[in-house]
Amino acid sequence: MRVKEILILAAELACRRDLADYLAGKNGEDASARAREEEMLLRCYNLAENEIALDYLPLRREECFESDGCVPYAAFAEPPVEILSVCDEAGRSLRFAAGEKGVRVREGRAVIRYSVRPRVKGPGDRPELSEKGDARLLALGTACEYALMSGNYDAASLLDRRYRDALACACRERGGRLRMRRWV
């Protein structure tokens, strides 16, 4: 699935059939206005994917390093957001400390598990959250952001409720982190 397909679904969820048709290539009316709306919808998609990946369902990576006592952040394939764990080759957990220049760990080979921030996407890219149900979750988050940015607060409220429910289900199924709801 491509980001463009999620944008089409998000436009439909936001009750913007005209924008969904434009994105699908079915309608070319008022192309400049629709292109601006497509750009705004893509911005909303990137915001939603970022929120999901950083706060709820982290994008995890794992790399093996030869350590001389400190593994610099520049050595990672992608910049880490959070260091989740460090193990030796046998899978035994190692003590580590994340410093400002890198991860301090004993000398030798170390397997470092970490989370990353999603890349900024274009319409032709593939989403990084790609498990079953993620397209709907991303579309709901995108539609909610789009409704808020468009000033349609009633639709945003309804979409936010559906988005939060889908997010809770995804976190329950995959062991993500869900923030506690609190009374203000």
Q: What is the 3-state secondary structure (H, E, C) of 57-120?
A: CCEEEEEEEEECCEEEHHHCCCCEEEEEEEECCCCCECCEEECCCEEEECCEEEEEEEEECCCC
Q: Is residue 85 part of a domain?
A: yes
Model pLDDT, residue 27 = 75
Give 131's pLDDT tier (boundaries 50, 70, 90): low
Q: Residue 162: give the domain boundaries.
A: 3-57+129-174
Q: Is residue 182 part of a domain?
A: no
Q: Is residue 75 part of a domain?
A: yes
Kindly list the distances between the CA atom of residue 127 and the CA atoms of 7, 70, 100, 134, 158, in Å, as whole numbers in the listed order: 11, 32, 30, 9, 24
Give yes or no: residues 38 and 63 share one domain.
no
User: Does pLDDT of 46 surpass 60?
Assistant: yes
Give 129's pLDDT tier (boundaries 50, 70, 90): confident
Mean pLDDT of 47-74: 92
Q: Is residue 124 part of a domain?
A: no
d(CA 16, CA 155): 11
Give yes or no: residues 107 and 138 share one domain.
no
Give 124's pLDDT tier (boundaries 50, 70, 90): very high
40 and 123 in contact (C-beta within 8 Å)?
no
Give yes or no: residues 14 and 95 share one domain.
no
Q: Is residue 32 part of a domain?
A: yes
Give yes or no: residues 168 and 143 share one domain.
yes
87 and 110 in contact (C-beta within 8 Å)?
yes
**Inter-axis angle of helices 153-174 and 134-150, nearest 10:** 150
Tens of pLDDT along 135-176? 999 999 999 999 999 999 999 999 999 999 999 888 887 666
Mean pLDDT of 36-53: 95
Residue where a domain stops, chosen among 84, 116, 148: 116
Average pLDDT of the residues of the chain? 89
Q: Is residue 94 part of a domain?
A: yes
Q: Is residue 88 part of a domain?
A: yes
Task: Please tell me the pTM assigned to this model.
Answer: 0.84
Model pLDDT, residue 179 = 58
Model pLDDT, residue 150 = 93
User: Does pLDDT of 67 surpass 80?
Assistant: yes
Task: Give the chain's domain count.
Answer: 2
Residue where a domain stops, chosen among 95, 116, 137: 116
Q: Is residue 184 part of a domain?
A: no
Give yes or no: residues 7 and 36 share one domain.
yes
Give 184's pLDDT tier (boundaries 50, 70, 90): very low
User: Does pLDDT of 52 surpass 70?
Assistant: yes
Give yes or no: residues 96 and 133 share one domain.
no
Mean pLDDT of 61-82: 94
Give yes or no: residues 46 and 133 share one domain.
yes
